[in-house]
Structure 1
Amino acid sequence: MILRSLLCLCCAMPAWADTVVPTRTIRAEAIILETDVTLVENNQTAGYVRLPDVVGQEARVVLYPGRPIGIDDIGPPAIVTRNQLVRVVFQAHGLEILTEGRALERGAAGDRVRIMNLSSRTTLFGQVEPDGSIQVSR
């Protein structure tokens, strides 16, 4: 009986683990450096627990000192910025069309963004490639 009550007591206690928190205020769209974050003991379940997972990422929202960094608070750095001129590529059935467009939103490699074809003024959707071009699909 005593063993059962001790077991229930241990299960009810929150688990403490290391959590990544900022050491200073980090503005949105800033790249996170090694000196910007540290590990602290915390009982939060959501958030990062390893510094390498956070360093080099871009803040999507303002990050405040001492608060755990949530999974959706950061992401890969943007390659394409809003209003930037980009190369637009369309490939299908051996046909390749290259043109110039204007990015209508920010995006990192792999993100789906809206672009405007400068020739036709048509709004398209495409995927940001690692080289900064936009791959348009049907």
Structure 2
Amino acid sequence: MLSRILSLAAALLAFASVAQAAELRPAITVAGPVVTLGDLFDDAGNAASVAVANAPAPGLRGEITVSRISLAARRNGIEWRNDAGLTHVAVARTGVAVSDEDIAAAVAAAVETRSSSLPSAARLQVDFTNGMAGIQVAEGEEPTVSVEQISFNTRSGAFTAIVRAPAHDALSPLRRVTGRAYPVLDVPVLVRDMQPGDIVRHQDIDWVRMPANRVSQNMIASIDHLVGMSPRHPARAGEPLRLSDMQPPLVVEKNAQVDMTFVSGALTLTARGRALQSGAVGDIVNVLNIRSNRTVQGIVTGPNLIRIDAPGAAHAASIAGTANNS
């Protein structure tokens, strides 16, 4: 009989020591939708699966009061002492991030249905207030999002959107995201500094995104106005360019020896000259006829090639005199 009493006492002491060993965690992270005693205590025993509170939405944080935890613990036979003086337990929930690109696309689509004033070549840029939307879904769920409601200020671009993630799941939580949505344009820029005389190639071009209201009418918005062109002045990499900043490449340098050609019907006259101006194809430049020492105007047609379109006999005579003397 005595041995049975001693065994029972030992068992009770062992149970008491286990109960006494239970310790409340001050902060926990859970993956599921509820917080259990097993999440909260080091050793919850058979009560580990008992739910205490709902977990925060995926990716968010919350708190559970110690008084609520204590009540659930006592009801399920967990004895513990709040030696640390805790008042709350911090709870974080893991999740799978919905990409900010997908959320921005959903917000942009919702804004576009409410605004028809976008420039034809523009697209909407969506910037979130805190730099990111921070929307997550529970582990194992599809990381999708839908916009349930949105308010948009057409003047400032500010928006407030109520989104659901996963998308179209009536049981998934609603989340609020804010930011700005504004039209932007992609503008070509140079990838390296270039000097007058340098020729822009396709590999010299990159793109930057700019608010549409900062893209002026004289700003280059197409590579057609860059490829094959040359800067009039030193051009810096990464900076938007104006149409007036570029010109066709110079094929005639000032003081260079050039071939002048005058064509009138079946008559073709040629002579040598000296360019008094630099010019690109199509430019009108002054040229000094070396033989006659007279200045004529011509159109640059190629490298060191000048075509003379003389309105009268004077220009033709200046060339003809040279041709006859040569």
Q: TM-score range by the shorter chain?
A: 0.7 to 0.9
The whole-number CA distance in structure 2 between the counterparts of 1:41 and 1:55 is: 19
Letter in 1 for 2:185: A
Which residue number corresponds to residue 75 of structure 1?
Answer: 247
TM-score (norm 1): 0.80
Larger relative CO (CA 8 A, sep 6+): 1 or 2? Answer: 1
Which residue number corresponds to residue 24 of structure 1?
Answer: 192
Query: Deviations along 1:88-119, whole A, 9 cap, x unmatched?
Result: 11122543221100111111111111110000
| 60-69 or 110-119, which deviates more | 60-69
Q: Which runs of 5+ in 2 are unaligned?
A: 1-114, 118-152, 158-181, 311-326
Query: Deviations along 1:11-49, whole A, 9 cap, x unmatched?
Result: 687742111122222112211233432110113223222
Matches within 5 A, 1:36-75: 36-42=204-210, 43-45=214-216, 46-75=218-247
The answer to whether the aligner puts 1:92 opposite 2:232 as a matched pair is no
The whole-number CA distance in structure 2 between the counterparts of 1:70 and 1:15 is: 20
Q: Contact 2:257 / 2:304 at 8 angstroms: preserved in 1? A: no
| Higher normalized helix content (fraction of residues) | 2
Q: Which runs of 5+ in 1 are unaligned?
A: 1-5
- Give RMSD over aligned pairs: 2.5
TM-score (norm 2): 0.37
What secondary structure, in the 3-state scheme, does the structure 2 residue paired with 1:72 have?
A: helix
What secondary structure, in the 3-state scheme, does the structure 2 residue paired with 1:10 have?
A: coil
Residue-pair matches, total? 133
CA distance 1:12–1:98, change in 2 (3 Å): farther
| 8-17 or 74-83, which deviates more | 8-17
